[in-house]
Amino acid sequence: MLNRDPIPFDWQSMIPCRRQEYDEDQVPRQPLPFQDNEFDIVFSNMNLQWVNDIPNLLTEILRVLKPDGCFIGSMAAGGTLQELRSSFVLAEQERLGGIGNHLSPMVRISDVGDLLSKCGFALVTVDSEVMEIPYPNMFVLLEHLHGSGDSHCGLNREKFVSKDVFIAAAAIYDAMYRASDTTNNDTDDHKGLRIDNTNIVINSSFQVAFFIAWKPHTSQQKPLERGSQSRSLKDIETILQDVKVESAESKFGVDFTQPGVPPKK
């Protein structure tokens, strides 16, 4: 939770909750303030993208999980705000002749599974979803990002952006990423809400990576040792034919391998 967010009272009445401060800027490799093998499950919802040292944090989460414990989480991925990112790139190239750093870096989907596996997690599963949210213009989008605390957090970010760059980026955004359905209907349903399309000009993409991983345990399934297979992939056609015959025999109660009984095709 953000430091500004209070813990709701009904949460405290149902599940004991407490806020634990964790400042990785003061102590970069500070361990989580919990004992080893303390939790059955750990949740992380849309906040890992703000962590500087993700591998160290994942290692700490693995430490505090019990054996066969589960880690479930989500985080913003590389496709998030790609329209805004490219609009600023083109605007600065046209107005300034260079490219500045205006958006926080995002992890690629392929890297999420690699990070979890390298940190020691087992049975890793990763999925992603891209959501398009309509906005009247780029400035309303920036206002929403600022209000939700999702501003650029990089220390090497540009401290000042000129009005010319903002106006050029907004014009490029409108020209390249205009919502496709704004000229078709007067109203439209978006996520169950009735929206006036006359006020929708642009779409903004948000890609979310969802993942689940487990702390290793002896009860978990493991791959067989290399060379322990009894059939070769060259025999895959024969194996599939045998499976079809066995399925037909169990369905009709007939042994198709007996003489005089034609095999089922």
What is the structure's pLDDT at 91?
92
User: Alpha helix locations (H) across the chain?
Assistant: 9-14, 54-64, 82-95, 109-118, 138-147, 163-176, 236-252
- Residue 103 has, within 13 A of its CA and on its CB side, a CA count of 20
The answer, as to whether pTM is greater than 0.85, is: no
What is the structure's pLDDT at 125?
93
- 103 Rama sector, left if φ>0, alpha if ψ -120 to 50, beta otherwise: beta
Reported residue count of the chain is 265
Q: Locate tokens 């409108």: which residue? A: 174
What are the C-alpha distances in Å from 164 to residues 20, 168, 171, 177? 43, 6, 11, 20
What whole-number distance in Å separates Cα of residue 43 and Cα of residue 5? 17
Q: Locate tokens 């990423």: which residue? A: 177
What whole-number distance in Å separates Cα of residue 196 and Cα of residue 188? 7
Q: Which two tokens stand for residue 185?
A: 């209907």
What angle do the packed helices 138-147 and 163-176 form, to 10 degrees? 110
Q: Locate tokens 């391998």: which residue? A: 257
What whole-number distance in Å separates Cα of residue 16 and Cα of residue 80? 34
What whole-number distance in Å separates Cα of residue 148 and Cα of residue 50? 13
What is the structure's pLDDT at 107?
87
What is the structure's pLDDT at 199?
61
What whole-number distance in Å separates Cα of residue 169 and Cα of residue 138? 8
Query: Chunked in runs of 10, what are the mean pLDDT values of the chain (265 residues)?
Result: 60 68 60 86 87 87 92 91 91 85 84 92 93 89 84 74 89 85 43 51 90 91 80 80 71 57 51
What is the structure's pLDDT at 231?
76
Domain ranges of the chain: 9-214, 233-265
Domain 9-214 has CATH 3.40.50.2300: no
